A and B are shown apart, each in its own frame.
Chain A
Amino acid sequence: MSLDRMPIFAWYILVTAGMMVVGFPPLILGSILLEAERAFGLPFFDPDKGGDPLLWQHLFWIFGHPEVYIIFLPGAGIVSTVLPVMARTKLLGYRWIIAAIVALAFLSFGLWVHHMYAVGIPHMALGFFSAASALVAIPTGIQIFAWLGTLWSGRPQLKLPMLYLIGFFFVFVIGGLTGVMIAVVPFDWQAHDTHFIVAHMHYVLVGGLVFPLLAGTYYWLPHFTGKERSFKLGEAAFWLIFVGFNLTFFMMHLTGLLGMPRRVDVYPADAGWTELNLLSSIGGFITAFGFALVVIDILQTMLAGRASRRNPWRASTLEWAMMLRPGTYNFVSQPHVASRDPLDDVPDLDVRLARGDGYLARDRDGLRETIAVCVNSGRIDYLAVVPTNSWLPVVTAAVTGLFFLAFLLGLYWVAAVVLALLAAMGWIWAKKIVSHADEGPIDIGLGETAYVHHQARFAPGWCGSLGLLVADATMYGSLLFGFAYLWTIAPNWPPPAFIDPSVIDLVVGTAGFGVAAWAMRRSLAENGRGDRYGTARWAFTAAAGLVIGALALLAAPLFRLPSPTSHAYAAIATMLVAYTVLHAIVALLMALFGWTGVRAGYVSPARSLVLRVIGLWTDYAALTGITALVALHVPILLGAGQ
């Protein structure tokens, strides 16, 4: 299906996934810096040595605020999916909702400082973040009004998922409105670190996620269980949760406005908060009973419910064309999707797909296959062969866990060995998934053919590498932000000594990385011409260029920088080198894999995927390596250290 026919829930998840790719890396970087400070004494957050604890707050909240929307958007996706079905109509404003969630995703990255209004930030910066914090209410409001319009235009039925959606509207709108209040700096300064914030956070997160999740749980319960509910326990549970939640957290708005701080377990008896807190406690117990009843209701349905008929809600989305419960293969054959409501277009689509009247109805040598389409037109692009069962992910996860465990226990030499082991496993994995021969077009049913992904331009490996590098680039950008932040904001700067700058390192390193990126392009071009010798030779040249670039970078901590434990400047400069050298090593291993792979037949003019993936990583290693060299040497060469 093309993007304009994609189910609205899938749009929400697509945008959420994009946010996760960019949102998590700053937190990962913050955690790495924290561990490096703990394990090796690198003073990123120690003000006595030029560090700044506010750098941690920035890195945490650059992740932390988008995370609120990463939590909310799937919940909103459930609302956009379930609400039209409950209202027996179509979702109003599909396009506007998509524009709104894209806007919301971006704006959510521009308001992290509203968690830090009280730390002492200039008014101009507060103004940016306050404006963005207020603006984010607009795309949220667009969704709320689209949902209200959908209800207005339909014939709503008060079934259990709808009850939870009504609960969502009530709770989430209150949470959103208090959010606009605390976006305003003077009000936030008054309410900062009080129970008012606790109340706001719970109204947003429980309203925006828990109520929609419960609506979705009951909506898709026939899918999970294959059964229908028979008693009204769920309705009773809803009222307990709704009343209990509001009793618990609405009171916290009041205690917060009366001045009660967060995170206290005792307070003066004459503060005037006792009765309100008692009501909150009673509400907490009622909520707990409500959730217990939900669990009992679901267990009762699983164990003693009647078998559900197909598509019990008469929905129009594809998941209801599956068996209840679905088989491990989901669909016997895959449909051709011509609109946003495939079950409205073809009411017996479930029977047709089960009969095998779709794509990929026939098993091909036990392979697991699915179809990839062009996102724009929806035309079939290629046949993606997905991995079969393997212990490799489990073993990789265990070895990765061992790496972190070794760090925690201070066994750093074990961590280094584990890292080498991981690289070896990566090599083995790559050897397992490459293709050794060209294949002709394959019959996929419905009179169409497709090539396998090894021979496609936007193959999963290439797209996945691009996504990973976007995440990686966010982490690198956060590291550069940390470098600039400490240099310009942190106390106890300038450091006792800067790097001893070297034009030779700068030029040689830049040349090495430049040659690596250029050589991989030449390797790809030679592969296109079918010259295996030329392809291998240029891949090897790229590897050599990466070695030269990495050595030029390593010269900084080995010969030119002060000790990394002496000051935050040297610490973060060393971290910059560690990051870029690690990526140069990864790209080097990949280039060597490409070099051996050409000789082993992993690539051909039709199968250039391996080389194109290596090209991406080489370009990234070159780009980060050159920018790190520039960041280390150029400011000092220009006199910034005077």
Chain B
Amino acid sequence: MKVPAMIWVVAGFVGWAAAFGAIYGFHGIGCAYGWDAVPLGPTNLHRVVQVGAWLAFLPPLLLLALWLRCRRTQANEGGSTRWLALVGETTAWAGFAAAVITFAPTATTSVCV
């Protein structure tokens, strides 16, 4: 089935929202079950899960932005598909940047305090 071009306008931020839900969800579960008290290397299990989830979401978001860039360059010049792909590419890069910044506290702040 052909995916409507409109979907790509929101795809990047749908990815960001999915990352938000997962990372915030892991945070609540980890604090409830004491993952922060389980040592793992130089840190603890909870921080590894949090940072791991953050880093796991970045490559797909980056690939989405790059793929939309290819899609935009391949679309017909001046067509509405190209225009939607261009908006989609813009929001995909913004979604990627938002994911880098929003979840950076996983690496730096105290986990459950």
Point out residues on A near B: beta carbons under 8 Å: 2-5, 95-96, 98-99, 102-103, 105-107, 109-110, 122-128, 130-132, 135, 139, 375-378, 484-485, 487-489
Contact = CB atoms under 8 A, between A and B. Distances in A.
Interface of B: 4-6, 9-10, 13-14, 16-17, 20, 23-25, 27-29, 31-33, 50, 80-81, 83-84, 86-87, 90-91, 94-95, 98, 101-106, 108-113
Contacts of B94: 99, 103, 139
Contact of B80 (A99, A135, A377): A377
Contact of B31 (A96, A98, A122): A122
User: Top 4 A-B pairs ranked by shortest CB distance?
Assistant: A127-B105, A488-B32, A106-B13, A99-B90
Contacts of A132: 20, 98, 102
B6 A375 contact: yes
Nearest to B17: A106
Contact of B25 (A98, A106, A110, A484): A484
Given A128-B20, A377-B80, A378-B80, A122 B10 contact: no
Nearest to A102: B91
A128 B84 contact: no
Contacts of A125: 24, 27
Nearest to A124: B109
A139 B16 CA distance: 15
A378 B6 CA distance: 13
A303 B95 CA distance: 52
Contacts of B9: 98, 102
Given A99-B87, A103-B95, A131-B104, 16 more contacts: A4-B80, A98-B9, A106-B95, A107-B13, A109-B17, A110-B102, A122-B112, A123-B109, A125-B24, A128-B23, A128-B102, A132-B98, A135-B98, A377-B80, A484-B25, A484-B28
Contacts of B33: 488
B80 A102 contact: no
Nearest to A109: B17
Contacts of B25: 484
Given A99-B94, A131-B102, A488 B29 contact: yes
A92 B28 CA distance: 44
A124 B28 contact: no
Contacts of B13: 102-103, 105-107
30 contacts: A2-B80, A3-B84, A5-B80, A95-B83, A98-B87, A99-B94, A103-B13, A103-B94, A105-B13, A107-B13, A110-B16, A122-B110, A123-B113, A124-B110, A124-B111, A125-B27, A126-B109, A127-B104, A127-B106, A127-B109, A128-B103, A130-B105, A131-B105, A139-B94, A376-B5, A378-B80, A484-B28, A484-B29, A485-B28, A488-B28
Interface majority SS on A: helix, strand, loop or mixed? Answer: helix
A99 B83 CA distance: 11
Contact of B83 (A4, A127, A139, A487): A4
B28 to A, nearest CB: 5
Given A4-B80, A484-B28, A124 B102 contact: no
B16 A106 contact: yes
Contacts of A5: 80
Contacts of A126: 105, 109
Contacts of B80: 2-5, 376-378
Contacts of A96: 90
Contacts of B16: 106, 110
A99 B28 CA distance: 32
Contacts of A105: 13
Nearest to B14: A106
Contacts of B87: 95, 98-99, 102
Interface majority SS on B: helix, strand, loop or mixed? Answer: helix
Given A102-B9, A128-B20, A128-B24, A107 B98 contact: yes
A484 B83 CA distance: 41
Contacts of B50: 124
A21 to B, nearest CB: 13
Contacts of A3: 6, 80, 83-84
Given A4-B83, A102-B13, A124-B50, A110 B20 contact: yes
Contacts of B98: 103, 107, 132, 135
B78 to A, nearest CB: 10
B26 to A, nearest CB: 10
A139 B83 CA distance: 19
A105 B98 CA distance: 13
Given A3-B84, A109-B17, A124-B110, A103 B102 contact: no
Among the interface residues A105, A139, A488, which one has the most CB atoms of the partner chain B within 10 A? A488
B105 A489 contact: no
A127 B28 contact: no
Given A485-B28, A489-B28, A4 B84 contact: yes
A135 to B, nearest CB: 6
Nearest to A106: B13
Nearest to A105: B13
A159 B48 CA distance: 59
Contacts of B31: 122, 488
A131 B101 contact: yes
Nearest to A490: B32
Contacts of A131: 101-105
Contacts of A122: 27, 31, 110-113
A489 B32 contact: yes
Contacts of A2: 80
A5 B80 CA distance: 9
A128 B105 contact: yes
A73 B33 CA distance: 41
B66 to A, nearest CB: 17
Contacts of A103: 13, 91, 94-95, 98
B14 to A, nearest CB: 8
A551 B96 CA distance: 45
Contact of A95 (B86, B95, B101): B86
Contacts of B86: 95
B29 A102 contact: no
Contact of A99 (B14, B91, B110): B91
A109 B111 CA distance: 22
A3 B14 CA distance: 20
Contacts of B6: 3, 375-376
Contacts of B28: 484-485, 488-489
A306 to B, nearest CB: 42
B33 to A, nearest CB: 8
A450 to B, nearest CB: 19
B68 to A, nearest CB: 12
